[in-house]
Structure 1
């Protein structure tokens, strides 16, 4: 059995920056606790990092629908929260993935590489816990993408280590994930 922890976008702009919320701050405190207590249980830890570019963001679909520049590549809001970064970097097998939209588009190859599971795997011996920000956008998109690629894997979303754009959107996203047979814990 291989266990992976995926932390979606634990970046300054989603916590205390341009799109930050008190719920996000609280969720990231829970992520730090989880890392302190569970890191050694995982064969790999992966962080996604939302990455936008000032020059082109407002021409993208996301920029037109969410006209708030966030996570501009290389600037303060783009960086992973330091307590989380410091803990993850101590893990024996960690990866940081940059993505320019809601979902990371290469989960199959990435997960196969970090776990050494065969290309034919449907995730039969795979447990993937997903936590992070924002529940109703990037967390749900990546959880469903991974569920689609590895339909036999146990996909777990730890609700108290996530936060949505609002508490209501957070709860709605959790309900949708449960209906897609993603296990939601700690609601």
Structure 2
């Protein structure tokens, strides 16, 4: 049973672009180190990419969060900093899931395909803790009832530290490990 690291939406627009914030910038080195460690330990890694089209502002999410961001193919859509190198990687243990909203309905299927079945352990990190990280953790738990799921609290961030802490309390209340 393979283990899986999911890096949620660590893209330019969430770090230094349209929705960027300082706490996200501080995560680059630690997330990159965790990805390297995971791959050295023969884990699998999925990067999710928030992915929108020109009609974004006309979607339910766009009306809720009316800031155009992560438009497919734009500079803001790509992974941030040193993690961008993985977009050109041919490593079969690395995959990408482009998602049109907070949580990805296709993430669990991609995880199963990449891991050859249900992952033994799933770790999540990235941004934004109280929106996309929470959404994807719940979706993964709904599919993989026997996987150990951990949200790496020190490798996640939200623009408002209170939102980050509230999300972690919510996740703890649902039984997620928070190392």
State the TM-score, normalizing by the size of structure 1.
0.88
Change (3 A) 1:42 1:157: farther
Is 2:114 the counterpart of 1:157? no
- State the Cα distance separating 1:165 from its structure 2 match: 2.6
Paired position in structure 1 for 2:114:
114
Deviates more, 1:127-136 or 1:31-40: 31-40
Unpaired runs of 5+ in structure 2? none
List aligned pairs for 1:108-187, cutoff 5 A. Answer: 108-117=108-117, 123=118, 126-185=120-179
The separation in 1 between residues aligned to 2:112 and 2:142, in whole angstroms, is 15
| TM-superposed deviation, 1:35 | 2.5
Deviation at 1:87, TM superposition (A): 5.0
Please give the alpha-carbon distance, in whole angstroms, between the structure 2 residues aligned to 1:85 and 1:30. 15
Superposed structure 1 runs of 4+ greater than 6 Å apart: none
Determine the structure 2 residue equivalent to 1:67.
66
State the TM-score, normalized to the length of structure 2: 0.92
Query: How many aligned positions are there?
Result: 178
Written as runs of structure 1 = structure 2, the 5 A alignment for 1:25-40 is: 25-40=25-40
2:82 maps to which residue? 83
- Unpaired runs of 5+ residues, structure 1, are 118-122
Does 2:29 match 1:12?
no
Instruction: Work out whether residues 103 and 141 of structure 1, in 8 Å CA contact, stay in contact via their aligned partners in 2.
Output: yes
- The Cα of 1:132 is off from its aligned counterpart by 0.7
**Structure-1 separation of matches of 2:108 and 2:16:** 32
- 1:48 matched to 2:38? The reply is no
**C-alpha distance in structure 2 between counterparts of 1:42 and 1:21, whole Å:** 32
Is contact 1:136-1:165 (8 Å) kept?
A: no
